[in-house]
Amino acid sequence: MTDRLTIALAQLNPTVGDVAGNAALAREARAEAAKAGADLIVFPELFLIGYPPEDLVLKPALQEAVQVEVGQLAGETGDGGPAMLLPTSWAEDGKVFNAILLLDGGEIAAVRTKHELPNYGVFDEKRVFEAGPLPGPVNFRGVRLGVPICEDIWTPEVPECLIETGAEILVVANGSPFEVDKVDVRTNIAVARVTETGLPLIYLNQVGGQDELVFDGASFVLNADRGLAVQMPAFQTGIVMTQWSRGDDDVWVCETGAREAPLARSENIYQAMVLGLRDYVNKNRFPGVVLGLSGGVDSALSAAVAVDALGPERVHCVMMPSRYTSQDSLDDAAEGAKLLGARLDTVPIVPGVGAFEAMLNPLFDGREPDITEENIQSRIRGVTLMAISNKFGNMVLTTGNKSEMSVGYATIYGDMCGGYSVLKDVYKMTCYELCNWRNQQKPAGALGPAGRVVPENVITKAPSAELREDQTDQDSLPPYPALDDILECLVEREMAVEEIVARGHDKETVHRIEHLLYIAEYKRRQAPPGVKITAKNFGRDRRYPITNRFRDRT
């Protein structure tokens, strides 16, 4: 029985479906851990196949690839180096499990499977995995390690079973997506499990973007007295060695190591947006992005995130002025691109608008211009960006925010046209908050310049789509502070109309916003994916019917 352990925590960024590539990452991490004298290296949830795999995990060919790589990795542990706690999908008797394997001494020394399968919000694991039995600990060189997987610690049942069956340390592999304030929630859950079991706990989370989800890492270790021994950084990959010793009371203690300070709200959100876009572009092998730079706050923020994620040389900005575009917008777009160091081209849409007017004039003759002509402008811009994308290969980045998408203040096949939406889950007022923050701070790992990146006039002027004379957003929407509060109440909190009115909002306005929210569902179904930021993003979290006559009449 050993009284000392060195456990390496591999906070890494796997790619879904890249079994061989993820196995190579595991080998590299194990080699690094071996040089540092580690006895064991731990990886995040479903590391070998990436998380979340969705229905991909049901493909027999994927499971065959898993078997091959696991066999090779297990054999490599016969060299006397660190053992591996490797999370992966695992097929047995025609069933697929979310599992964690102990690879040691050249073999698969133990297999444990996830008992609690989450089936809410962004999770639908019951669709693809079988629930495993309540697990007992694994015996690792005389130390009994409890290895619950992610959701297994969100309720007391699995940790209670582990303490009753002799576990000495809880080692938890996680695939916990980012959302605002999620770090505090995770910490509180972990503290509760430590308090109930009296055991120290390793919480290891992955880093990286996977479609709409971003994983922020921020792994940590709590000792049995609930003291924080180790705190890894958010949004950064890395391998940390933790030193463990058995106390006189037989309780294991982790020596205090590096403890990174938590990020403030604005930096958390901004870093999530950067990482989500970077991984979406790079993992899908796009050379870069192209976006419309209008001189407004949303496109300016989107461009800043893109430059920080990819570097200015991979971001192509396009100004597409119409006859309604103000000189301020032209100047602001030019200044914004200059501040970022990004390429800016100008493609006027006036000739295209004229062509459409000529085409449609016989049919529209005698009818006054209305939203039809506004949407034509937006759609011409969408066609222009898609043409540039097709010609040069860059992905179109849309720039609409959550406030607009909530109430349908976006043109389908127009400004919604694109492959990814970095502001999809960011309300308008948060956009302003982030612009001001980024102008004062350059986040760690950002590839853009330090200092101001969004022109001051972009932040201070009244927002406008500039699709008709003297247009502002507030011609048809409440002021954004009020709109965002109403939307947060309706979307994130599912509050009744009377509760929202009690917060000081006009009842008729709340009813109107609720109606707009419901009737815009068909647009959101056709919107590109975007980074999940809030507790309820559109798509994976909030799934409402398109055909829906319910209205809250309170």
Active site residues: 45, 114, 150
Distant-in-sequence, close-in-space partners of 174: CB < 8 Å, separation ≥ 6: 44, 45, 149, 150, 203, 204, 205, 206, 219
Q: Say which residue the tokens 């960006």 belong to.
A: 385
Residue 358 CA to residue 372 CA, distance in Å, equals 14
Q: Which helix (H) or strand (E) holds 86?
A: strand 83-92
Candidates 168, 207, 179; CA nearest to 9 is 207
Question: Beta strands 238-246 and 252-254: pairing type?
Answer: antiparallel
Contact between residue 279 and residue 13 where contact means Cβ atoms under 8 Å apart: yes
The packing angle between helices 327-340 and 297-310, to 10°, is 10
Q: Which of 455, 319, 280, 215 is nearest to 289 (CA)?
A: 280
Q: For residue 440, what are the CA distances in angstroms to 128, 197, 428, 450, 452?
A: 45, 44, 19, 8, 7
Strand residue runs (E) in 135-277: 138-140, 143-146, 169-174, 201-205, 207-210, 213-216, 220-222, 228-231, 238-246, 252-254
Can you read off the two tokens belonging to residue 374?
A: 């506004």
User: In angstroms, what CA-CA distances link 330 with 279, 333, 345, 399?
Assistant: 31, 5, 11, 17
| 524 within 8 A of 539, measured Cβ to Cβ | yes
> Both tokens of residue 264?
């403030």
Instruction: Determine how many CB atoms are found less than 10 A away from the CB of residue 258.
Output: 11
Cβ partners under 8 Å of residue 237, min gap 6: 11, 12, 13, 207, 217
